[in-house]
Structure 1
Amino acid sequence: MDAAAQVHRMAFDQALPWLVGLHTPDEDRWFYREHVFLNCRLWGYFDGDVLSGIIAFREGWIDQLYVLPAAQGRGVGTRLLDVAKDAFGPLQLWTFQRNTRARRFYEARDFDLVEETDGARNEEKEPDARYVWIRQ
């Protein structure tokens, strides 16, 4: 769980630098141990001994998908996303509206934008977007 939390933090901070420092490493580890691990299937992608990407998903939802910045653009996220797609369909997820790289990633993999919010309901108070994927 510690390694998954670290991948999450490194990728999150790179993609969303305006939210750096939102949580401490201890809070990240607690979140993975007490929430993600208990409620989701968690898969990792390893490059040798290095955990370079993670996906946490449950029926109908992708809760987390993070890839280390150094491993992005090499198919890691797609491989992890395919694990969830093989397990469940349809799937939905939230991402921040300003995270244009993530939005392009999901749209290129057949996720459709179905909702945008002002962020009032999320912890970060950051406008977000909900995407849905339906198996063809």
Structure 2
Amino acid sequence: MAETWLRSFKAALPTVRLAHGDDEVRDWFAAVVVPHHETWIAVAEGAVAGLLVLDGEELEQLYLEPSWRGKGLGDRLIALAKQQRPDGLGLWTFQVNAPAQRFYERHGFTAVERTDGLRNEEHEPDIRYVWRAEE
């Protein structure tokens, strides 16, 4: 999962400074993400093609192996997230990540807050999105 996350982050966000080194990211996945969060992976050809991490109603991580972008895998993972959290979801994405914004908006998420990035480790302006199931 960590390797997919690292490749995806670097490919999708080349201008965003990683707050932690690669080894720290690997340790974080092993010690925090996997044991303490609901984690889902999509496997293709024996490797992790995508990952979804949920923490309560928060969609913490949704990353795809770069070669799997645009093939519907993200759609399947977001559908899974909605199935697991039918009452709603929230997430943050960086303002420079226009493809992610289009993706989430296409899936019914609404931008509710924009920040200057001082509250995230990367110090990158971000956007808060929420999704609520229609009544």
TM class, shorter-length: over 0.9
Inter-CA distance 92–44: structure 2 relative to 1 (3 Å threshold): same
Q: Is the 8 A contact 1:95 1:128 kept in 2?
A: yes
Within 5 Å, which residues of 2 pair with 1:13-24?
Answer: 13-19=10-16, 22-24=19-21
Q: What SS does the corresponding residue of 1:18 show, helix, strand or coil?
A: coil
Relative to its length, the structure with more helix (as a share) is 1
Q: State the alpha-carbon separation in 1 of the partners of residues 75 and 55 from structure 2.
A: 17
What SS does structure 2 have at the residue aligned with 1:17?
coil
CA contact (8 A) 1:13 1:20 kept: no
Q: What residue number does 2:68 align with?
A: 71
TM (norm. structure 1) is 0.92
The aligned amino acid for 2:28 is F
Could you tell which deviates more after superposition, 51-60 or 32-41? 32-41
Runs of at least 5 residues in structure 2 that lack an aligned partner in the other structure:
none
Aligned equivalent of 2:44: 47
Aligned-residue identity in percent: 39
1:25 and 2:22 correspond = yes
Partner of 1:103: 101
Distance change (3 Å), C-alpha of 1:116 and 1:102: same
Where structure 1 has 5 or more consecutive residues not aligned to the other structure, the ranges are none
Contact 2:19 2:121 in 1 (8 A): no
**Mean Cα displacement is larger for which, 106-115 or 19-28?**
19-28
Bigger mean CA offset, 97-106 vs 12-21: 12-21
**Residue in structure 1 matching 2:91, options 90, 93, 97:** 93
Q: CA RMSD in A?
A: 1.2
Helix, strand or coil at the partner of 1:52:
strand
Please give the TM-score of this superposition, normalised by the length of structure 2. 0.93
AA of the residue aligned to 1:132: V
Tell me the SS of whatever aligns to 1:29: helix
1:106 alignment partner AA: Y
Partner-residue secondary structure (3-state), 1:11: helix
